[in-house]
Amino acid sequence: MKIIYSNFLPFNGFRAINILGVVFAGKKHNPLDEYTINHESIHTRQMLELFIVGFYLWYIFEWVLRLIIYKNRFKAYRNIGFEREAYCNDTNMNYLNNRRFYSFIKYLKG
């Protein structure tokens, strides 16, 4: 996974953003900690499972749905199934070695 440190991406309030398997991180977060790298690696695996386009379509759809439910952008973001899986497992450095395909599905409830 390639990491690019930037002044423009990610947007304020975020440490990193994964675009097509390339992680853009704020320069002030150089170097990224191992938990953030693991978090973004989980997203890369999710992207590959859904052939990239499916991941982004699902991500946007779910974010809009959660925004309607929670009426709060941050709460909507934190409750996306992909994010829930990544946040719940970003401290487990062996997670991707043991993760089953489509594991994000069990994080959709909520």
Mean pLDDT along residues 59-74: 97
Distance in angstroms (rounded) separating the CA atoms of residues 5 and 62: 28
Query: Could you give the percent of the chain with pLDDT greater than 90?
Result: 95
Break the chain down into helix, strand, coil percent, rounded to 5.
55, 15, 30
* CB distance 62 to 80 below 8 Å: yes
CB contact burial 44-57 (16+ within 10 A = b; e otherwise) = bbbbeebeeeebee
* Domain membership of residue 88 as a residue range: 2-107
Structural domain count of the chain: 1
12: pLDDT strictly greater than 90: no
Q: What is the pTM of this model?
A: 0.95
Preceding amide of 31 cis, omega within 30 = yes
Q: Of 46, 104, 5, nearest to 15 (Cα)?
A: 5
Q: How many CA atoms lie within 13 A of 48 on its CB side?
A: 11
